Amino acid sequence: MRKNPTIRDVAANAGVSIATVSKYINGAQRFTPAVEHNIQAAIDKLGYQSNPLARSMITGKTGSVGVAILDICNPHFTNIVKGANRVALEHGYNLLFVDTEESQAREDELLDALSRRVDGLVVSTRMPEDQLHRILGYGKPVVFSGRPGPKGVPSIGIDAYAAAYMIAEMLVKQGHRNIAYIGFAPARPDRERMRGLVDCLEAHGLPLTRHEVRGPTMAEGERVCSSVLLRKSKPDAVICYNDMVAIGFMGVARSLGMSIPEDLSVVGIDNIPFSRYTSPALTTVDTQSERLGEEGMRLLFRHIAGDLPTTVEHITLEPRLVIRESTRLRVSVPARAGEQGKPRRAKPTSAAVLASCKPAYRRT
């Protein structure tokens, strides 16, 4: 049986010391082109592979970075991992990730185990603000994803307020007057979305009805649907916490005899890949999940390298409205309070609705 080559064999073949080979492999020192050529030629000839554990002990680096996500079943988070992995590979790093399954009880254990195996972490968490110091206590560079971090800690997320305001403005301009929101209170973006929805609708003199899911899943969208639609005052438009909730909601709405969008407009948030293939295709907001993963990981590598500015600010990505077939112009627009007796404005065209939502919209 052929013996695996050792670093001693590489050194002998290249005519240099073991220390020189070690420094070359670990990137600790540069040598003349001739010496580096001889070492690499010996490595290739012998088929030598360095021991990652030994290299980690020498350099203090693992060669891996970690990502913590809330739910691997949600394509929004799998897209974040995809984007983060792309950047990790560009830097020659491996990516490890954990799925906390929306469970704060398991979060500490999983993050602690992950932090021991990586050089830095990109973390999505619903942990209360006053407990985030526990993650910083692992002693590794951390970037918070989807929420602002504590002061001085880098973070990245989408502008949740703008996303919600944009959806509400579009629905109002389409003639909707009875709008409901299905929210998920434990999620930090939910607060900003509520603020955006309320600000927009109050500016138009319109109310907002809120309903709650216990989790941001299709099953919860199914569960809550009947309580939203079988009310004395039914909404003419429903905004869902995310696309997963919207997809589950639409399925039950159809079984209750509702036609979408003829009877009811439905909007999601995230623009997951499935959303364009629902029937009808789902109007949503693109939260740029892959880019969130990419930029979060780039931020982490700057953090690891000590290349962050003295004053660290939360990085905000702009949302994009994606108008599809689950929303439409209302046939008739009831007068708002205080508008009785006033001449009613002409119903806006689809082109006018799109134009009013610029610059952040697109149709696919």
Tell me: do 230 and 354 sit in the same domain: yes
> Phi then psi for 94, rounded to 5 degrees?
-90, 150
Tell me: do 326 and 296 sit in the same domain: no
| Dihedral in degrees, nearest 10, Cα atoms 100, 93, 312, 129 | 10
Instruction: For residue 340, tell me if it sits in a domain.
Output: no
Whether residue 352 has pLDDT greater than 60: no
Tokens at 117, concatenated: 């195996």
High-pLDDT (> 70) share of the chain, % = 86
Tell me: do 196 and 142 sit in the same domain: no
Among the residue ranges 9-18, 67-76, 80-89, the one predicted with the least confidence is 9-18
Tell me: do 95 and 203 sit in the same domain: no
- Residue 245 CA to residue 222 CA, distance in Å, equals 8
Tell which residue, 118, 113, 77, 114, has the closest CA to residue 94.
Answer: 118
Instruction: For residue 341, tell me if it sits in a domain.
Output: no
Mean pLDDT over all residues of the chain?
Answer: 87
Query: Mean pLDDT across the stretch 215-240?
Result: 95
Instruction: For residue 337, tell me if it sits in a domain.
Output: no
Domain at 203, CATH number: 3.40.50.2300
Whether residue 308 has pLDDT greater than 70: yes
Whether residue 166 has pLDDT greater than 50: yes
Per-residue pLDDT band at 312 (split at 50, 70, 90)? confident
Query: Mean pLDDT across the stretch 318-324?
Result: 96
Q: What single letter denotes the amino acid at residue 348? A: P
Domain at 41, CATH number: 1.10.260.40
Whether residue 340 has pLDDT greater than 90: no
Tell me: do 209 and 278 sit in the same domain: yes
* Pairing mode of beta strands 320-323, 284-286: antiparallel
- Which residue, 44, 59, 74, sits at the end of a domain? 59
Instruction: For residue 339, tell me if it sits in a domain.
Output: no
Tell me: do 166 and 229 sit in the same domain: yes
Tell me: do 154 and 173 sit in the same domain: no
- Residue 264 CA to residue 327 CA, distance in Å, equals 8
Tell me: do 96 and 153 sit in the same domain: yes
Write out pLDDT tens, residues 49-69. 766 555 555 555 788 999 999
Tell me: do 131 and 265 sit in the same domain: no
- Residue 121 CA to residue 155 CA, distance in Å, equals 11
- Per the CB < 8 A criterion, the answer to whether 239 and 249 are in contact is no
Whether residue 235 has pLDDT greater than 60: yes
Give the pLDDT score at 2. 64
Instruction: For residue 100, tell me if it sits in a domain.
Output: yes
Write out pLDDT tens, residues 80-127. 999 999 999 999 899 999 999 888 888 989 999 999 999 999 999 999
42: which residues sit within 8 A by CB, 6+ positions away?
Answer: 9, 10, 11, 13, 14, 48
Number of domains in the chain: 3
Give the pLDDT score at 250. 97
Query: Mean pLDDT across the stretch 233-241?
Result: 95
Tell me: do 148 and 220 sit in the same domain: no
Q: What b/e string do you get for 53-82 counting C-beta neighbours within 10 Å, with b at 16 or more?
A: eebbeeeeebebbbbbbbbeebbbbbbbbe
Tell me: do 277 and 299 sit in the same domain: no
DSSP H helical ranges for 26-74? 33-46, 52-59
- Which residue, 26, 44, 59, sits at the end of a domain? 59
Query: Mean pLDDT across the stretch 146-158?
Result: 92
Residue span of the structural domain in which 135 resides? 64-158+290-317
Per-residue pLDDT band at 189 (split at 50, 70, 90)? very high
- Residue 260 CA to residue 280 CA, distance in Å, equals 7
- Residue 231 CA to residue 239 CA, distance in Å, equals 17
Among the residue ranges 17-31, 155-169, 249-263, 291-305, the one predicted with the least confidence is 17-31
Per-residue pLDDT band at 245 (split at 50, 70, 90)? very high
Tokens at 46, concatenated: 């012998």
Query: Mean pLDDT across the stretch 221-246?
Result: 95
Tell me: do 71 and 133 sit in the same domain: yes
Instruction: For residue 2, tell me if it sits in a domain.
Output: no
Give the pLDDT score at 78. 96
Instruction: For residue 220, tell me if it sits in a domain.
Output: yes
